[in-house]
Amino acid sequence: MPRIANIETGLYRIPLPITLSDSTHGDMTAFELITCRIRDADGAEGVGYTYTVGRNGGAVADILKREIPPLVEGREADDTEAVWHHVWWGLHYGGRGGPAVLALSALDIALWDLKARRAKLPLYRLLGGFDAHVPCYAGGIDLDLSVDALLRQTDGNLAKGFRAIKMKVGRPDLKADVARISAMRQHLGDGFPLMADANMKWTVEEAIRAARAFVPFDLTWLEEPIIPDDVAGHLRIMQAGGVPIAAGENLRSLWEFKNYIASGAVSYPEPDVTNCGGVSAFMKIARLAEAFNLPVTSHGAHDITVHLLAACPNRSYLEAHGFGLDKYIEHPLVLKDGLALAPDRPGHGIGFDWKGLAKLA
């Protein structure tokens, strides 16, 4: 088997076409893209990436550039499990989460891309394959939009082929959130999949009150009502709120997801492949959810994650994230009748415009 020869790291600041906002992160004008290109001794290459909402990308890139290469160079490129554990424990004392696990995620994605390319298989088939057609929703980052602007955005997403929509909640006045959800439900009609995301805005009691107020609008789920550290709080909301709960985009390991899933504190586990530990960790989280008869959803990085959910019999919805890379990749996500299509190109199939990105380094 070929050995890892070298790693190349990139850090880019991607401007957003419009300012996005949610209840916790505030206004976002750009996101940081951190890339990892791995080459083996035969010259084959795999590409991975992670991202931030605007800060700490330098720390992630530094770990990829300075700390990880001595841990992995010369190791077997196909031994993804061995490499993952070696890096996890190598960074554990000063890492265990934060920038270290984002860096590990990018590395692991690159290794799986390399493995699938060498096998001449699309990633979802290498991971087992289930169904290349994955239900997909448009993840709106739209808390500060007026109701009229929110509905116009929704019409634009419907025109693109989306058949499920997520909106932001968490305004200072709960009545404003209720009015916006009510307008969306009336606009979309009964039965149309509608999700709401609070981005950790509330206390447990506030979240229970909000969830109960949202019950008449038949939400598919209420996402991240409180901070991710409070597993018991999520369980209380599940028991008292009357609305399914999605959570996990801010969890950083299989073991953190285990605490949620085994406690009955989540309806839809929601890993992000770029921050939970990569493909290796994402698939373990999905299998753990399957063992508890739970549907798994996703956060971010839809161009990669479509492959992962295409290999999961318990997948629910893929999120088409607001931080898209369409301007900088050769083949953006393809949507047909509300379903995202996992591409048949070898690996994850993402071809970056490296020259275009270089202008944003």
**Structure tokens belonging to residue 51:** 């991202």
Query: Per the residue annotation, which of 115, 201, 234, 299 is the catalytic one?
Result: 299
Q: Is 65 a catalytic residue?
A: no
Our answer to whether residue 168 is catalytic in this structure is yes
Please identify which residue in the block is written with the tokens 């790693």.
7
Query: Catalytic one among 166, 168, 302, 348?
Result: 168
Per-residue 3-state assignment (H helix, E strand, C coil) for the chain: CCEEEEEEEEEEEEEEEEEEEECCCEEEEEEEEEEEEEEECCCCEEEEEEEECCCCHHHHHHHHHHHCHHHHCCCECCCHHHHHHHHHHHHCCCCCCHHHHHHHHHHHHHHHHHHHHHHCCEHHHHCCCCCCEEEEEEECCECCCCHHHHHHHHHHHHHCCCCCEEEECCCCCHHHHHHHHHHHHHHHCCCCCEEEECCCCCCHHHHHHHHHHHHHHCCCEEECCCCCCCHHHHHHHHHHHCCCEEECCCCCCHHHHHHHHHHCCCCEECCCCCCCCCHHHHHHHHHHHHHCCCCECCCCCHHHHHHHHCCCCCECCEEECCCCCHHHECCCCEEECCEEECCCCCECCCCECHHHHHCCC
- Rounded to whole angstroms, the Cα distance separating 334 from 195 reads 22
Catalytically active residues are 168, 299
